[in-house]
Amino acid sequence: MKFAITGLNHTTAPVEIRERLAFPETVLAHALDELRRETGLAEAVILSTCNRVEVAATTPDERDARDAVEGFLAASRGVDREWLRPHLYHHEGRAAVRHLFRVAASLDSMVVGEPQILGQLKAAYVAARESGAAAGPLEGLFSHAFRVAKRVRTETEIGQSAVSVSYAAVELARQIFGSLSGRKVILVGAGKMSELAARHLKRSGCGQILVTNRTLARAEEMAALFEGRLIEYTRFAEVLPEIDILLASSAAPHYILNKDDVRRALAARRNRPMFLIDIAVPRNIEPAVNELDNVFLYDMDDLQKVVESNRLGRVEEAAEAEVIVEEEVDRMMARLVARDAGPVIVELQQQLEALRQGEIERLRGKLGPLTPQQEEALETLTRGLVNKIAHGPISELRRGAQQLNGPPVADFIRRIFRLGKSS
């Protein structure tokens, strides 16, 4: 068996090329059928995300998986093959197994440690299995990849630290309040980053989300998205006493919240802490607010510092994860050795033993009666010869299986020893 992965990702192709190669979920089953029919590949999984398009495939013979997949991608997506080729990478054998495991563990992602890729990989595998395109060796390879990802998540902290501004804000809020359950949030401004942060806050257990924006239609849209409460933009300071977390991203060219506004809110809150996140540029909140007790104000630069620190931490965790991946690649390769080489080794040994027994029986008439010592000597001699004959082929079988993508040693040995044939 040959296992190969051919594709492109965010490091080899810009977005305008990746989007040309993308496979919508609605066409995935048809694409898998077409791929196997047109290329003759035994099994295939197509992984298509915003950052990568990859085809993982197995073939039982010497067929060039790279050439087959290149041709399929170009034809099915309607692009010129020569235009596409410079952006593609190709991995075979051990390198392909390692690549699959690294993708599953989010070591090959744009943001190392992000959790989405594992779900996307599982969905791609399920689609292939339901289409009948992953019912053999690929099933074992992908199942092992999912276990590798789980082990990396369990044994390292690669996914624990925030590496996006919106998520970093939520992590800081959690450090300040402990639990975010039931905390009340107000979004001042309704941009995309506010929306992302609000999603993280909602998932973390925050209670009611209030929304205000200079453009009423956008505020209504955001409030509907989070089942929130709409606040008139010119009066949002009046609700500050009931707010635990404020996220400001207004396009206003001046401060919309100053030190006195926050001081009055704190007094009404009896100095219960407030967390203010200012991700607007120019800033929405007067920096002097940070001088007040029980107020925690973070602007974009503060959040970027947190993100960069966490990113460096993930790099360190990634080094530990790479060690885990390499261990699991060794384990997978050993399993493939046993699966691919084992049956041929057993068949070769059985055939050689049958030949040995046959030759002894054929010569018994000529040798006449043998003493027990002579029988033992004959047994030792013939077994030794058979073992020496088998040693070379068996060693090559194991070596070839370790390479996985090396020369088809098993097929060659089957032919020269006429394994599986009656004569």
- Would you state the structure tokens that stand for residue 21, as one six-digit string? 């190669």
- 206 a catalytic residue: no
Q: What confidence tier does 116 reach under pLDDT thresholds 50, 70, 90? A: confident
| Ordered alpha helix ranges (H), 213-299 | 216-225, 259-268
Q: What confidence tier does 421 reach under pLDDT thresholds 50, 70, 90? A: low
| Per-residue confidence (pLDDT) for residue 406, from 0 to 100 | 45
Residue in this structure with the two tokens 């995300």, named with its chain if needed: 49
Going along the chain from its start, the domains and CATH numbers come out as 2-160 (3.30.460.30), 165-303 (3.40.50.720), 334-416 (no CATH)
Q: What confidence tier does 308 reach under pLDDT thresholds 50, 70, 90? A: confident
Report, as an integer, the average pLDDT of 60-75.
86
Lowest average pLDDT, out of 2-6, 238-242, 313-317, goes to 313-317
189 conformational bin, left if phi > 0, alpha if psi -120 to 50, beta if neither = left
| Per-residue confidence (pLDDT) for residue 423, from 0 to 100 | 46
**215 φ, ψ to 5°?**
-95, 110
Percent share of the chain, pLDDT over 70: 92
**Residue 182 to residue 244: CA distance in whole angstroms:** 10
Q: What confidence tier does 358 reach under pLDDT thresholds 50, 70, 90? A: confident
Q: Identify which of 88-102, 172-186, 213-227, 277-291 has the greatest average pLDDT.
A: 88-102
Which of 15, 50, 224, 319 is an active site residue? Answer: 50
Contact 9/54 with Cβ under 8 angstroms? yes
More confident residue, 295 or 308: 295
Determine the residue type at 49.
Answer: T
Residue 286 carries which DSSP code? -
Report, as an integer, the average pLDDT of 319-324.
93
Return the closest-CA partner of residue 121 out of 29, 51, 47, 32.
47
More confident residue, 71 or 192: 71
Question: For 161-183, how does the pLDDT look when each residue is reduced to its tens digit (9 = 90+)?
Answer: 656 777 788 888 888 898 899 99
| Per-residue confidence (pLDDT) for residue 28, from 0 to 100 | 93
Residue 120 has pLDDT above 80, yes or no: yes
Cis peptide before 407 (omega within 30 of 0): no
**Residue 54 to residue 83: CA distance in whole angstroms:** 17
**54 φ, ψ to 5°?**
-135, 145
More confident residue, 104 or 204: 104
Return the closest-CA partner of residue 195 out of 213, 172, 173.
213
Q: What confidence tier does 337 reach under pLDDT thresholds 50, 70, 90? A: low
Question: For 365-418, how does the pLDDT look when each residue is reduced to its tens digit (9 = 90+)?
Answer: 788 888 889 888 888 888 888 888 888 877 777 666 555 444 456 666 777 777
Query: DSSP letters along 75-137, please?
Result: HHHT--HHHHGGG-EEEEHHHHHHHHHHHHTTSSSSSTT-SHHHHHHHHHHHHHHHTTS-SSH
| Per-residue confidence (pLDDT) for residue 161, from 0 to 100 | 63
Lowest average pLDDT, out of 27-36, 41-50, 186-195, 203-212, goes to 186-195
| Per-residue confidence (pLDDT) for residue 291, from 0 to 100 | 95
